[in-house]
Amino acid sequence: MSTAAFLRDPPPGNLPPPYVLVADDDPASRRFLGDGLRALGVQVHECADGQMALARAAIETFDLLLLDCRMPGAGAHEVLAALRADAQARSADAPAVATSAEVSADDRQRLLTAGFSDVLLKPCELEALRPLVSLARTSGRRAPLLDDAAGLVSSGDQGTMQALRGLLREELSTLVQELDHFCTDPPRLVERLHRLRSACGFCGASALSLQATHLQRQLETRGSAVDGARERFRQALITTLAALDR
């Protein structure tokens, strides 16, 4: 690509560059998206159909999934639904963006309701890829269990942050015991997750906050949550509690 020097952004801190899956059966679109993202400092894996994308996302941890709406084997909607339902898939909770040459207002809303973060219209300018890089950099793989810097910004000082983390630990200990009961009452669980996200924000519990957001979004848009989302939230809950115990 002649624009290899196009506003390349270095990865923050010591984190590796974001890793993005680009799935598109059109060679020209796949080449443009892949090369454009690489020019912005992103690692890319390309797939030519939906089944290849699903298989790769199941075994690798991507920071973003860029999925074409119409691919042989499975389109964007089918790929994302299968991943979200799979508790073992490595990229089950990765943010996803659907791509298409044309999308009606109704189609766009259906994709957003299905869990896509955005819809990218093709063809597009290179600058349109920059928000995708930002989205990849804030994905779950890069979210720490306990982010001291974020916690200090929210709480104001070390003593207050530790006190708030003590309260969060008590809350999580109770929630671990009650989670199965909450899962039988989606409206009540949504309310509980909303409160939990606020507590996580004050304590810098980034990974748990992210999983709570994913689960709450599914409950609000679908009225229920797939087993994979519940299990990923449960694991984040358990690992965060263990980190608070250290």
Same domain as 223, residue 158: yes
Which of 93, 116, 142 corresponds to the end of one domain? Answer: 142
The separation between CA 41 and the C-alpha centre of its own chain, rounded to angstroms, equals 19
In a domain, 230, yes or no: yes
pLDDT tens readout for residues 53-81: 999 999 998 999 999 999 988 999 999 99
Query: Rounded to the nearest 5 degrees, what angle is found at the Cα of 43, between the Cα atoms of 38 and 46?
Result: 85
The parent domain of residue 138 ranges over 19-142
Q: How confident is the model at residue 14 (pLDDT cuts 50, 70, 90)?
A: low
- Here the CATH number for the domain that contains residue 135 is 3.40.50.2300
| Confidence (pLDDT) at 140 | 63
Q: How confident is the model at residue 15 (pLDDT cuts 50, 70, 90)?
A: low
Q: In this structure, how many other beta carbons lie within 10 angstroms of the beta carbon of residue 223?
A: 9
In a domain, 135, yes or no: yes
Q: Which of 38-42, 70-74, 101-105, 230-234 has the lowest mean pLDDT?
A: 230-234
**Does this model's pTM top 0.75?**
no
Same domain as 193, residue 98: no
| Confidence (pLDDT) at 4 | 34
Contact between 22 and 36 (Cβ < 8 Å): no
How far apart, in whole angstroms, are the C-alpha atoms of residue 191 and residue 43? Answer: 38
Which of 82, 113, 142 corresponds to the end of one domain? Answer: 142
**Pick the residue with more confidence: 211 or 69?**
69
Q: How confident is the model at residue 1 (pLDDT cuts 50, 70, 90)?
A: very low
Give yes or no for residue 9 having a pLDDT over 50: no
| Confidence (pLDDT) at 115 | 84
- What token pair was written down for 167? 């309260």
Distance set, CA 71 to CA 19, 26, 98, 117, 222 (Å): 21, 9, 12, 19, 25
Contact between 57 and 88 (Cβ < 8 Å): no
Distance set, CA 187 to CA 84, 162, 197 (Å): 20, 31, 16
Same domain as 178, residue 137: no
Same domain as 50, residue 130: yes
| Confidence (pLDDT) at 64 | 93
| Confidence (pLDDT) at 197 | 92
Query: Residue 224: which of 181, 180, 178, 190 has the closest Cα?
Result: 190
In a domain, 6, yes or no: no
Handedness of CA 122, 127, 133, 134 (dihedral sign): negative
| Confidence (pLDDT) at 226 | 64
2 burial (CB, 10 Å; 0-12 / 13-18 / 19+) is exposed
| Confidence (pLDDT) at 79 | 95
Contact between 199 and 174 (Cβ < 8 Å): no
Q: Is the bond into 10 cis (omega within 30 degrees of 0)?
A: no
pLDDT tens readout for residues 121-156: 999 999 999 999 988 887 766 677 888 888 888 888
Q: At 23, is the secondary structure helix, strand, or coil?
A: strand
Give yes or no for residue 50 having a pLDDT over 80: yes
Which of 142, 165, 199 corresponds to the end of one domain? Answer: 142
Query: Residue 189: which of 241, 167, 197 has the closest Cα?
Result: 197
Number of domains into which the chain is organized? 2
Q: In this structure, how many other beta carbons lie within 10 angstroms of the beta carbon of residue 6?
A: 14
| Confidence (pLDDT) at 219 | 82
| Confidence (pLDDT) at 8 | 35
Same domain as 158, residue 129: no
In a domain, 223, yes or no: yes
Distance set, CA 44 to CA 65, 77, 96, 198 (Å): 10, 21, 14, 34
Same domain as 137, residue 23: yes
Q: In this structure, how many other beta carbons lie within 10 angstroms of the beta carbon of residue 175?
A: 17
* 204-226 average pLDDT score: 80
| Confidence (pLDDT) at 141 | 64
